[in-house]
Amino acid sequence: MKRIVLVIIFILGTVTTYCQEGIIYDIKIRGAKKTKAPFIKQILESKAGKPLDSVKLKNDIARLRRQPAISHAYFQVFYSHENLYNVYIDIEENFTIIPFANVYTTNDDEFAYRIGVNEFNFLGRGINIGGFFQKDIYNSYAINFRAPFLFGRKVGLAFNYQNLTTQEPVFFDDTTADYKYNNTSYELLGLYQFNFHHRVELGLNLFTEDYQYKSGATSPNVPQELVVDKSLIKLIYEYNALNYYYESVSGFRSIFNFQYVNARNQILPDFSIWWNDFFYYKRFGEKGNWANRLRIGFASNEDSPFAPFSVDNNLNVRGVGNIIDRGTGVVVLNTEYRYILHKKGNITVQGNAFIDAGSWRNPGGDLGDFSDSNNLRIYPGLGVRFIHKKIYNAIFRIDYGYGITKNGTQGFVFGIGQYF
């Protein structure tokens, strides 16, 4: 027994010694085919010639697992000579040219879809480039470019173009009108990562909103045609402490989004809007995963039918319908328990039971609106996911939500990727 204890003490002492005093002689990347080895080394905090630090290595592995191009990663340390050590990082790559589709419907026979394709590892350097086409009564399309490591390990750039046209309900005087809505926008963002957990985005969006009356109620106080040029300053701050193990997630994440919108021709007032998404995930054994998202948000409380927050099937409450209400404040909680029903090779079938609940502040209203039964939506439901763990975001989901609050509806929501 004493001999075993001495061996354990010796091993722990050896590990402590190289973690505190050892120097990295070289970092060797194994298993990377499409992803460029120099790019992987670029985003690592651990570098050849620097002290061997087990905490930094663990953070580097977690950082790699967050990359769309990498499904799994781990490291090994081997003695080289003197106080020098070789670090081997083994990579399991994802397939990253991904088509996607989102389809949603309700019991009112509404039907809309979005299809597109993204390359999440363009040039083998973690660059995301892609676009989509959407049919939601009208046609829409967009292109996007995002390179978080364009200028090194911390600095990147993103550009987005969008031409989005939908039929939007506008609510006023306890009545509803349908408008054809178009938003054409150009957005440029600078990306900066402070460290492993903290990052920020800052940028400018120039866009034009075009509202054209189609049908429904009218009012002399609500224009039937409205075209407004706007500019938007955007700030996003993220704290990310998530850990990934293939399809399972654990940890906490917070994303704060602030926007200030200026209407350049002064037809509509300037306004600000902010929201914060809080995510919490916990694993239960090898098969269970509890997932939660809480969104709290507020905007300038103008009494306007064009309020910014919407209640929507594909955004916040599954089964509720396609933009059934609007507000200037929002509180939404999505909670679900995911359980692996079948797993073989690279294929996983995951079932889930969820509850989506939310409430909204009416335009020009007060905080009491959140407790108003007319604004409260609670939708429990069931879903299933079909997952391929070697293809990035290859999660085909089907959810069915059933409303149990006032004027509840029901419907399916289809899509690619987890709902949150």
Asked if 152 and 188 count as a contact pair (C-beta separation under 8 A), the reply is: no
Asked if 249 and 243 count as a contact pair (C-beta separation under 8 A), the reply is: yes
- For 382-411, what is the mean pLDDT? 91
Per residue in 282-310, pLDDT (tens digit) is: 999 999 999 999 999 999 998 877 778 88
Task: Provide the pLDDT confidence category of residue 7 given band limits of 50, 70 and 90.
Answer: very low
On the question of pLDDT at 125 being above 60, the answer is: yes
CB proximity list for 207: less than 8 A, separation 6 or greater: 183, 184, 185, 186, 229, 230, 231, 232
On the question of pLDDT at 232 being above 50, the answer is: yes
What does the pLDDT read at residue 108? 53
Residue range 97-416 in CATH 3.40.50.720: no
Task: Provide the pLDDT confidence category of residue 405 given band limits of 50, 70 and 90.
Answer: very high
What CATH topology corresponds to 2-93?
Ubiquitin-like (UB roll) (3.10.20)
Range scoring the smallest mean pLDDT among 123-132, 222-231, 332-341: 222-231
Distance set, CA 417 to CA 17, 120, 345, 393 (Å): 43, 14, 19, 5
CA distance 156 to 150: 5
What does the pLDDT read at residue 110? 64
pLDDT, greater one: 293 or 373: 293
Task: Provide the pLDDT confidence category of residue 258 given band limits of 50, 70 and 90.
Answer: very high
What does the pLDDT read at residue 389? 82
Asked if 260 and 233 count as a contact pair (C-beta separation under 8 A), the reply is: yes
Range scoring the smallest mean pLDDT among 131-140, 290-299, 333-342: 131-140
Distance set, CA 168 to CA 127, 145, 176, 210 (Å): 33, 28, 10, 11
What does the pLDDT read at residue 167? 86
What does the pLDDT read at residue 35? 95
CB proximity list for 346: less than 8 A, separation 6 or greater: 388, 389, 390
Task: Provide the pLDDT confidence category of residue 27 given band limits of 50, 70 and 90.
Answer: very high
CA distance 105 to 86: 55
- For 32-36, what is the mean pLDDT? 94
- For 7-34, what is the mean pLDDT? 68
**If you ran DSSP here, which 8-state letter would residue 330 be given?**
E
Structural domain spans, the chain:
2-93, 97-416
Residue 165: CB atoms within 10 A of its CB come to 19
Range scoring the smallest mean pLDDT among 80-89, 311-320, 341-350: 311-320
Indicate the SS3 state at residue 82: coil
On the question of pLDDT at 17 being above 50, the answer is: no
CA distance 277 to 296: 7
What does the pLDDT read at residue 270? 85
What does the pLDDT read at residue 3? 52
Task: Provide the pLDDT confidence category of residue 325 given band limits of 50, 70 and 90.
Answer: confident
pLDDT, greater one: 343 or 108: 343
What does the pLDDT read at residue 116? 92
On the question of pLDDT at 411 being above 60, the answer is: yes
On the question of pLDDT at 245 being above 80, the answer is: yes
Average pLDDT over all residues of the chain: 89
What does the pLDDT read at residue 255? 98
Closest CA to 361 of 292, 293, 278, 273: 273
What does the pLDDT read at residue 109? 57
Indicate the SS3 state at residue 83: coil
